[in-house]
A and B are shown apart, each in its own frame.
Chain A
Amino acid sequence: ETGVTQSPTHLIKTRGQQVTLRCSSQSGHNTVSWYQQALGQGPQFIFQYYREEENGRGNFPPRFSGLQFPNYSSELNVNALELDDSALYLCASSLVGGPRGGYTFGSGTRLTVV
C-alpha cells in the first residue's frame, strides 16, 4: 500500500509568481484535502476534492485553486504569490464512504516566497 506522495519537496518563488504543487493520494482513497501549515502553527484547511469537484473550502482567497484527476491525484495552484504564502503545504487523502478514520498525510511541500 503506497502512502501519499507530494512534489516538489521544496520550492522557492518570487512574490507575484504562480506555483503548482502536486499530490498522489494513497491507494484506495478517493478524496484529497489540502492544508497550509505556517511555522509553529497547526495545519489550516484550504479545500477538499472528491470526484474531481471541490467539496468544501476553508477561509482562503480564490487565488488558491485546485484540481483532482480521475486517478484521484490532485494539484494545488496558487496565483499572485504573497510573502505570507510561505508555509508547508500538506496533502491528505481519505476515503469518503469508508470508516471515519484518520487521514493519511504526505510529507508536504515547503514553499518559500521571497
Chain B
Amino acid sequence: SQKIEQNSEALNIQEGKTATLTCNYTNYSPAYLQWYRQDPGRGPVFLLLIRENEKEKRKERLKVTFDTTLKQSLFHITASQPADSATYLCALDIKAAGNKLTFGGGTRVLVKP
C-alpha cells in the first residue's frame, strides 16, 4: 500500500538550534515533493518544492533534501525562532495522478525561547 509518513510526535527544540523533520514514502513515484507550513485553524502555506532530479533546495533558513532511492525527504529549519512553531506538512505530487497532492500527517514543531 502507498504511505507517506512523518513523525507524528511533536518536535521540541531550543531557539537557535536546527530542526530536522523527516518525510518517508513508499510505493510512490513522485515528480515533486513539497513542504507546507500550517498554523492552527489556518490553511497550509507553501514553503518549498523540490523536483525528483534535485538533491537539495534552499530558501533563506530552510533547506530540503530529496533522496528518491531512500524515498525520503529531510526538511531543516536552521537558527530556529519561536515564530517557526507550527505544523509542517510534506506533500507528494505523483506523476500518474495529475495535479493532486498527497499529504503526510504533519509534524508539529515547538521552538522554545
Residues of A within 8 A of B (CB): 4, 31, 33, 35, 40-45, 48, 50, 55-56, 58, 88, 90, 92, 94, 96, 100-108, 110
Contact = CB atoms under 8 A, between A and B. Distances in A.
Interface of B: 4, 6, 31-32, 34, 36, 41-47, 49, 89, 91, 93, 97-106
A88 B34 CA distance: 21
A108 B49 contact: no
Contacts of A108: 41-43
Contacts, number: 71
Contacts of A35: 101, 103
B99 A48 contact: yes
A50 B98 CA distance: 12
A107 B99 contact: no
Nearest to B105: A42
A101 B99 contact: no
A102 B98 contact: no
A86 B39 CA distance: 19
Contact of B100 (A33, A40, A105, A106): A33
30 contacts: A33-B99, A40-B105, A41-B106, A42-B4, A42-B6, A42-B91, A42-B104, A42-B105, A43-B89, A43-B101, A45-B100, A45-B102, A48-B98, A56-B98, A56-B99, A58-B100, A90-B43, A90-B44, A92-B43, A96-B99, A100-B31, A100-B93, A101-B46, A102-B34, A102-B36, A102-B46, A102-B47, A103-B101, A104-B46, A107-B43
